[in-house]
Amino acid sequence: MNQIPDIIRTIPLNYYLYFSTALFAIGVIGVLTRRNAIVIFMCVELMLNAVNLLLTAIASYRADSSGQVFVFFIMAVAAAEVCVGLAIIVMTYRNTRSTDVQLLNELKW
């Protein structure tokens, strides 16, 4: 029951680590450099999925399901984040006709 499946063993754990690191870095660069709120949201989702990939790979290699449970919670939090965030973006777009995050500085005053 606690054995690593053959399909998981064909790909070394380092490859999962490199791939998830690259995905996370692309997400961070996207969040820091883009001004469109929708694109920033997609980059945050990319970072969450990079973490999910790494947790799932490590859990599979260790034959432990706790990592997959964490992935389930991360997906639930991400779904809630998308609901709230998209509602904010839609309301911002209705008021400003733009999804530029620079316009959100006006909310301070």
pLDDT by residue (tens digit) across 54-82?
999 888 888 888 888 889 999 999 999 89
Tokens of 24: 């996370």
pLDDT for residue 109: 65
Region 4-18: mean pLDDT is 82
- Which one-letter amino acid corresponds to residue 72? F
pLDDT for residue 26: 96
DSSP state of 15: H
pLDDT for residue 2: 58
Residue 19 has pLDDT above 90, yes or no: yes
Distance CA 100, CA 34 (A): 9
pLDDT for residue 95: 86
Please give the residue that has the higher pLDDT: either 77 or 108. 77
Q: Report if pTM > 0.85.
A: no
Please give the residue that has the higher pLDDT: either 5 or 13. 13
Instruction: Find where tokens 């997906």 sit.
Output: 75
